[in-house]
């Protein structure tokens, strides 16, 4: 049904080997998608010339100013016509997934159906910002594809100088280390900033990321402007049955070398059961009939290491919440920066906790995207004025510091 394939001697070499091959997938699509036949031609040309050949542009859907990544081919014949005409327009739609990237198979099949009809059939799960990326659409079909995706209950993600699609870890849904409801916070905060996502008007991109504990599986400290990282304030919890089970399996050498010796603040000691402190800030658990781990929670910096090693035997406390760090960013302009602590601890349990978010433009977050009203007195981040072009929070901060 599709047109004949272009020769792809370079790409063919990426079909061998044990790891799943994207080239094999593309060739399968090319059997009935002319745009993928030409995409393979385009990509082979990139491999041959060792250069990229796409340029951006402006393509969108009605009502939104972002979320589509336009791509037009720059590979042209002498007469100016595109060498690979069916892939001359190969745009991406960024779609926000449910928090934690959970799906039922029926939903994934519907995505496939829509994208096979209106696009190339190539889907990236997921992009580095956390989007479902529907890759390979003509300008004409962008609106049609989005309308059907939107009717499935999914919305466009962020692109350009805007609030970007967010990510949160698996969290409370399937992790004992979760310190707040990551999915709820993710959904609430992002849905409160939809205007700033869909109608880009910020100085530069702005990313929120949500990790449920200091393991920071979402890498939020290094790649989000505002990182919400779960933590706790009270004592580490212990479970004697699991501690003894762990010790029986792993023994004293591992307990000393891998747990006690690796505590960064030397908060853990091995004690005879009778010598364990009864002080309020102490957690302790027996590992055998005579010996206990004693953890001084005043010395603990909540790094997660011992909890990672002895999962269940040691666990985060009960007084849980999150630390908020601001200003993390990647490479450009002044080098990579990590977020720094601006709110050491805040509870994120009730709806009131969640709506007390400091909104950076001074609007109350206690409102749906369509009905904003100032019911509480949010911290006025509006007094924070970034420089007008390409300036992230951290760049702005460091420029001011100079």
Partner 1 sequence: MAQPQMRRAIECGVPDNKPFLHPKLAKNYGNWKYHDRPRPGVLHHVSHDGDEVWSVRAGTARQMDVWTIRQLCDIADKFGEGRVRFTIRSNIEFIVGDEKKVAPLIAELEKNGYPVGGTGNSVSMVAHTQGWLHCDIPGTDASGVVKSMMDELYEEFKHEEMPNRVRLSTSCCSINCGGQADLAVIVQYTKPPKINHDMVSMVCERPTVVARCPVAAIRPALVNGKPSLEVDERKCMCCGACYPPCPPMQINDPEFNRISIWVGGKNSNARSRPTFMKMVASDLPNNAPRWPEVNAVVKNILMTYKADARPWERMADWIDRIGWPRFFEKTGLPFTKYLIDDWRGSRKSLNASTHIRF
CB of 290 or CB of 342, closer to partner 1: 342
Please state the closest distance from residue 284 (CB atom) to partner 1, in A: 18
Q: Is 394 in the site for partner 1 (CB under 8 A)?
A: no
Please state the closest distance from residue 130 (CB atom) to partner 1, in A: 8
d(CA 37, CA 4): 7
Taking CB under 8 A as the criterion, the residue among 303, 346, 347, 364 binding partner 1 is: 303
Site size for partner 1 (CB under 8 A): 130
d(CA 323, CA 341): 7
Tokens found for residue 120:
């190339």
User: Coil, strand, or helix at residue 241?
Assistant: helix
Distances 249 to 95, 176, 262 between C-alpha atoms, Å: 46, 21, 19
d(CA 70, CA 54): 9
Q: Is 289 in the site for partner 1 (CB under 8 A)?
A: no
Please state the closest distance from residue 277 (CB atom) to partner 1, in A: 24
Q: Is 125 in the site for partner 1 (CB under 8 A)?
A: yes
- Name which of residues 19 to 78 contact partner 1 (CB under 8 A): 19-23, 25-26, 28-29, 43, 46-47, 49-56, 61-64, 69, 71
Q: List the alpha helices (DSSP H) in 280-333.
A: 305-309
Taking CB under 8 A as the criterion, the residue among 2, 65, 107, 345 binding partner 1 is: 107
Q: Are strands 208-211 and 91-95 parallel, antiparallel or unpaired?
A: unpaired
Run of H or E including 38: helix 34-49
Stretch that binds partner 1, among 272-280, 286-294, 295-303, 373-381 (CB under 8 A): 295-303
Distances 101 to 95, 96, 128, 132 between C-alpha atoms, Å: 12, 9, 13, 9
Stretch that binds partner 1, among 269-277, 284-292, 304-312, 377-385 (CB under 8 A): 304-312
Q: Is 146 in the site for partner 1 (CB under 8 A)?
A: yes
Please state the closest distance from residue 272 (CB atom) to partner 1, in A: 26
Taking CB under 8 A as the criterion, the residue among 7, 85, 251, 264 binding partner 1 is: 264
Please state the closest distance from residue 30 (CB atom) to partner 1, in A: 9
- Name which of residues 328 to 357 contact partner 1 (CB under 8 A): 330-336, 338
- Crossing angle of helices 139-151/105-118, nearest 10°? 160
d(CA 46, CA 169): 35
CB of 11 or CB of 162, closer to partner 1: 11
CB of 259 or CB of 276, closer to partner 1: 259
Please state the closest distance from residue 184 (CB atom) to partner 1, in A: 9
CB of 155 or CB of 273, closer to partner 1: 155
Respond yes or no on whether the N-terminal peptide bond of residue 126 is cis (omega within 30° of 0).
yes
Instruction: Convert residues 182-201 into a mask of x (bound to partner 1 by CB under 8 A) and - (unbound).
Output: -x--xx--xx--x---x---
Q: Is 222 in the site for partner 1 (CB under 8 A)?
A: yes
Q: Which long-range contacts (CB under 8 A, 24 or more apart) does 335-339 make?
A: 336/222, 337/394, 337/398, 338/221, 338/222, 339/220, 339/221, 339/222, 339/224, 339/225, 339/226, 339/227
């Amino acid at each position: 049904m599709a047109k004949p394939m272009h020769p792809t001697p370079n790409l063919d070499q990426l079909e061998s080997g044990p790891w799943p091959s994207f080239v094999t997938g593309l060739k399968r699509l090319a059997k009935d998608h002319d745009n993928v036949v030409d995409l393979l031609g385009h990509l082979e040309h990139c491999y041959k010339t060792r250069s990229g050949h796409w340029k951006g542009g402006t393509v969108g859907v009605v009502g939104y100013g972002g979320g589509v990544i336009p791509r037009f081919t720059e590979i042209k014949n002498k007469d100016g016509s595109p060498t690979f005409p069916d892939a001359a327009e190969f745009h991406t739609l960024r779609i926000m997934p449910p928090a934690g990237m959970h799906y039922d198979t029926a939903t994934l099949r519907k995505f496939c159906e829509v994208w096979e009809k209106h696009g190339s059939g190539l889907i990236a799960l997921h992009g580095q910002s956390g989007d479902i990326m529907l890759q390979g659409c003509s300008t004409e079909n962008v609106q049609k594809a989005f309308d059907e995706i939107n009717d499935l209950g999914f919305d466009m993600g962020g692109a350009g100088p805007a609030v970007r699609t967010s990510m949160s870890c698996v969290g409370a849904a399937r992790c004992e280390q979760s310190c707040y409801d990551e999915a709820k916070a993710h959904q609430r905060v992002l849905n409160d900033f939809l205007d700033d996502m869909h109608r880009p008007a910020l100085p530069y991109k702005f990313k929120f990321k949500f990790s449920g504990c200091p393991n920071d599986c979402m890498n939020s400290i290094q790649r989000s402007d505002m990182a919400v990282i779960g933590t706790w304030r009270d004592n580490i919890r212990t479970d004697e049955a699991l501690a003894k089970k762990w010790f029986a399996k792993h023994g004293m050498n591992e307990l000393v070398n891998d747990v006690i010796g690796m505590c960064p603040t030397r908060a853990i000691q091995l004690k005879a059961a009778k010598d364990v402190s009864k002080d309020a800030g102490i957690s302790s658990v027996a590992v055998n009939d005579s010996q206990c781990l004693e953890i001084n929670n005043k010395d603990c910096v909540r790094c997660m290491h011992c909890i990672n090693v002895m999962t269940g035997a040691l666990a985060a406390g009960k007084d849980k919440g999150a630390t908020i760090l601001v200003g993390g960013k990647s490479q450009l302009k002044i080098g990579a920066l990590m977020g720094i602590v601006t709110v050491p601890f805040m509870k994120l349990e009730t709806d009131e906790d969640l709506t007390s978010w400091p909104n950076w433009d001074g609007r109350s977050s206690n409102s749906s995207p369509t009905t904003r009203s100032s019911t509480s007195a949010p911290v006025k981040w509006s007094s924070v004025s970034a420089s007008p072009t390409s300036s992230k929070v951290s760049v702005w901060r460091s420029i001011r510091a100079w």
